[in-house]
Structure 1
């Protein structure tokens, strides 16, 4: 297949601004290239991810959907990078069989009906915007089978859940080393923004006096500074946004990883990254982690928004066999298995498309 990937438009690839979407796109791209498919990625300027074939497109970045209210109207900058990427795709579409859209935004969905080739939409978040819900619902009806999601619980935030293709996720397990004997420290891995609930993890670490290593891009500086003011004595260390190689080397040494989202996570790639290192995951019983963590076996699912529940789970981490964490990652989230699902989804879309 000749594939044209449309990247997230909220930040350059490789910076961490795109959150888990970046890792998703990277892994899908690697696997499609390994299978000898032709591939080009359209992404904002200054994008870089290994040796992936990226065409950098200029323009102003989009505002992340999760930072806006549900009823905010669709707004495009005068020189929007998303508009420019879509226009580039329109001009070169005859050179490709399929466009794969990773941008959680209204415009690529709306334009689906105006392209001459089919578009597969990888929806990376649950219901956040009325405008987005409406346009995706229309695409589901006009182009059945072209909307892909990560988990069932994510799909269920939409009224058209039954029409979504659940794709899951996967990672290159060879990049993650299993660590049998961790140090007495915890991890938190995500974009630093209010919807990720970092303050709960910090509060739990402070109560127990266990060091917490924080990995990820600071997306909301004011939010981060408030946490530092509110918990001046918390045993935390901000490590920053790291490459996969550097992240897994430090993550694997942690006793457990905390996931504290305030919203419905579509999936949670960091959960399977932790499991691949043998690190148990403690997550709020909300969103994608519900379908990842085996409660009591590879981590704990706890009451959402409860610091006390996090503390109790941390105190029980020694009951988790780290080998089972790695084993689950190998059984359920290998890149070849995920590649099979994605490749078949692409082929099904091409077979069903009646425009060509």
Structure 2
């Protein structure tokens, strides 16, 4: 198939990844290309040049409009709308069999567009007012929508999802996150250093439990980093930097437990399954999709309760390291994810009925 992949423009689609959405788009492009599809990545012009790239904007918009995401800035909104509108026009004229839309923009959802190019839209954020109506109005025989978890799907359609919407769990390449049979007794946390990710709560819980902790990930919110994280660093709690995948996998494999601390309704939790693939059981907050993703591979406690999180760490440490790895191999591999993507593309192209509710249910 000739496939257009439309990405979000906040960050480049290139490693080391700024977040899960950037990793998702990169691995989707790489995986589909490896399967023999002709893939064009519509993303910022400073994305990975190893792909066939159509620049939606010259550079990612965090470089031009720093720290204005989610603030309703009219200049950023106008810039993004113009870029996506032009990209959608190029996709419509580009002879593509299908569009996989990961943009978080309302424009690719318009029926006049999805009727011209069969489309799969993957939702990557909890519902918000600027997009909700357009999502709810968009299902059609040539438009499929996916959420990253059953919890995420319910958040978008609390009264029941339409037949065109289903769960598409994220997947990773287990070979890129090798299993390690033994940890060194320390805890680890990875993700974007932003308040909603809760690294400060992981720090508090690790200190309370008496475990060394290393944080990994990009600094997204400078004020949060400087005012909340930096003052807590020191002694057994340290920052290990923003590492590329292979280096991060090695660091994860050395640790004994992963702390997962979302302070929002996390739609999936890619960082958790990366750690689980390396053999780390999880101690975390039961928020968003956490219970669905982590399952028997960890122990979860009420959100933002650091005392309970510290108390859950010994129970998580008692989970055999084979358990989280086996859960990833069973449910969250790249091949399983790509198989599901290809099936969705075929549905959108054919306008075929969606699977039954039973077959769409999360494992």
| TM bracket, shorter-chain basis | 0.7 to 0.9
Q: Which residue of 1 aligns with 2:19?
A: 19
Match of 1:148 in 2: 146
**Residue matched to 1:285:** 286
Assess if the C-alpha contact under 8 Å between 1:60 and 1:81 holds in 2: no
Instruction: Tell me, in whole angstroms, the C-alpha distance in 1 between the residues paired with 2:177 and 2:169.
Output: 19
Structure 1 residues 76-91: aligned runs within 5 Å:
77=76, 80-81=79-80, 83-91=82-90
* Residue aligning to 1:68: 70
1:145 is displaced (CA, Å) by 5.0
Residue pair 1:27, 1:170 contacting (<8 A) in 2 also: no
The CA deviation string for residues 177-231 of structure 1, in whole angstroms up to 9 with x for no partner, is 1111111211111111111111110111222332211111111010011124652
Cα distance in 2 for partners of 1:230, 1:23 equals 30
Aligned pairs (5 A) from 1:148-297: 148-159=146-157, 161-163=160-162, 164-228=165-229, 230-231=231-232, 233=234, 235-294=236-295, 297=296
C-alpha change, 1:156 and 1:76, in structure 2 (3 Å) is: farther
The answer as to whether partners of 2:6 and 2:102 remain within 8 angstroms in 1 is yes
Deviation at 1:236, TM superposition (A): 2.1
Rounded Cα–Cα distance in structure 2 between residues aligned with 1:64 and 1:97:
35
Distance 2:90 2:69 in 1: 32
SS of 2:120's partner is: strand
Which whole-Å CA distance do the structure 1 matches of 2:37 and 2:174 have between them? 21
Aligned residues: 344
Distance 1:60 1:14, change over 3 A: closer
Runs of 4+ in 1 over 4 A off after TM superposition: 15-18, 62-67, 142-145
Gaps of 5+ in 2: 353-363
Q: Secondary structure at the match of 1:156?
A: helix
| Residues 349 and 66 of structure 1: CA distance in aligned 2, closer, same or farther (over 3 Å) | farther
| TM-score normalized with structure 2 length | 0.86
Unaligned 5+ residue runs, structure 1? none
Number of the residue aligned with 1:29: 29
Q: What does residue 356 of structure 2 align with?
A: none
CA offset at residue 233 of structure 1? Answer: 4.7
Q: What is the distance in 2 between the residues matched to 1:290 and 1:153?
A: 9
CA distance in 1, matches of 2:121, 2:26: 16
TM superposition score normalised by structure 1: 0.88
Higher mean C-alpha displacement, 158-167 vs 304-313: 158-167
